[in-house]
Amino acid sequence: MPTSPGLRIGRILGIPIYVHASWMIIFVLITMSLAMQFTQEHPQWTTVQHWAVGVATSLLFFASVLFHELSHSMVARAYKIRVISITLFVFGGVARIGREPAKAIQEFNIAIAGPLASLFLAFAFYSLTQFFPYAQMTGALAVWLWQTNAALALFNLLPGFPLDGGRIFRAVVWGVTKDFARATKVAGTSGKIVAYGMIVFGAWYAMRGQWTSGLWLAFIGWFLLNAAQESVAQVAIREALSGLHAADVMSHEVPTVPRNMSLEEYGQEVARTGRRCHLVTTEDRLVGMINVHALNSVARDEWGNMSVQGVMIPREKVLWARPEEPLLGLLERLVSADVNQMPVVTDTEDDGAHIIGMITRDSILRVMQARSEVGSLTPTR
């Protein structure tokens, strides 16, 4: 499951943008190496100019990667796929989307938008170099940025999952074979081949004396290898969950608290039972949901004066599941909404929802693990 994506730096077009810790190290390294490069190649500039152009180039590189990810996001949105967040990593970014595309052509278009955006930027910066000579600050900046954006586009087009090229490759195999699971396996395998190739080539390069480039290449290869394995595992999840519904894995035990309970008492209840989320009820009717997160939004010395009802998530805003909902879609909804549990409810005639169970990410993970232990028992569909 996704962990904390990093430091949040803002929101663009409604999408939260995060920066991974590793990106800041890279940002400093790129700025330093650019300042050194400019010091060597442009001795006529002042020290302040070397650093100013270094920082400006780094920032524009950062903006370029963001532009690449936003392009993926805009195409995803055009297909009504929610974009949860964009995170900038060591050598690029990741746009997290709420669900997998439903059709091969959608995946193809979402994937190719990124490299096309980078190529567009490469072309734009290349055009700048036609007006500003390399000896000038704008020219030096534009040369580095057009080359780097072109390299970014080409690197991302390598046909290995999870790079954009791997997604394009998967979309093509998926479109031809109509078999999503098989397409992912093929793209995952080609991703591993690309990754091993980069590791071997990087090691060979390093041994020939090109230490920095060689090790860097090998490191990226190693990162890709892990990512390829992870994305194949995601397909295994799909397969493990197929045929199962919310009612199959929900727990019938529903921890509830009355709505007039004080937050002080609720804190004790959490500490005593270890449960972090409760439904708020009156006479078996769901009126809301409360969890430790909501509890902690209130200052501790106010707990005695406030009731659960004051801070609970009201019923209209609680996400809930139906017993017949397929588990895979439900897991995607849990991840997409960034919540750990949902109540399972059925409607009764006398209005009002009747709670029949609770479904958590943990219970879904447990059934996946159990299924992997008993082997591939394909459920009857």
DSSP, collapsed to helix, strand or coil, labels residue 57 as helix
Of residues 6 and 114, the one with the C-beta less far from Zn ion: 114
Q: What is the DSSP letter of 82?
A: P
Minimum CB distance to Zn ion, residue 164 (Å) = 4
Of residues 65 and 290, the one with the C-beta less far from Zn ion: 65
Minimum CB distance to Zn ion, residue 117 (Å) = 8
Minimum CB distance to Zn ion, residue 72 (Å) = 5
Minimum CB distance to Zn ion, residue 150 (Å) = 14
Of residues 114 and 288, the one with the C-beta less far from Zn ion: 114
Identify residue 333 by its one-letter amino acid code. Answer: R
CB-nearest residue to Zn ion: 114
Of residues 114 and 202, the one with the C-beta less far from Zn ion: 114
Furthest-apart CA atoms within the chain: distance in Å: 83
Minimum CB distance to Zn ion, residue 160 (Å) = 13
Number of residues lying near Zn ion (CB under 5 A)? 2
Of residues 94 and 280, the one with the C-beta less far from Zn ion: 94
Of residues 154 and 356, the one with the C-beta less far from Zn ion: 154
Minimum CB distance to Zn ion, residue 115 (Å) = 7
Q: Rounded distance, CA 293 to CA 290, Å?
A: 8
Identify residue 313 by its one-letter amino acid code. Answer: I
Minimum CB distance to Zn ion, residue 71 (Å) = 8
Interactions with Zn ion, residue window 96-135 (CB under 5 A): 114
Of residues 154 and 298, the one with the C-beta less far from Zn ion: 154
Of residues 107 and 164, the one with the C-beta less far from Zn ion: 164
Minimum CB distance to Zn ion, residue 92 (Å) = 7
Interactions with Zn ion, residue window 139-178 (CB under 5 A): 164
From residue 67, give the alpha-carbon distance in Å to each of 15, 71, 156, 324: 13, 6, 14, 40
Q: Which residues bind Zn ion (CB under 5 A)?
A: 114, 164
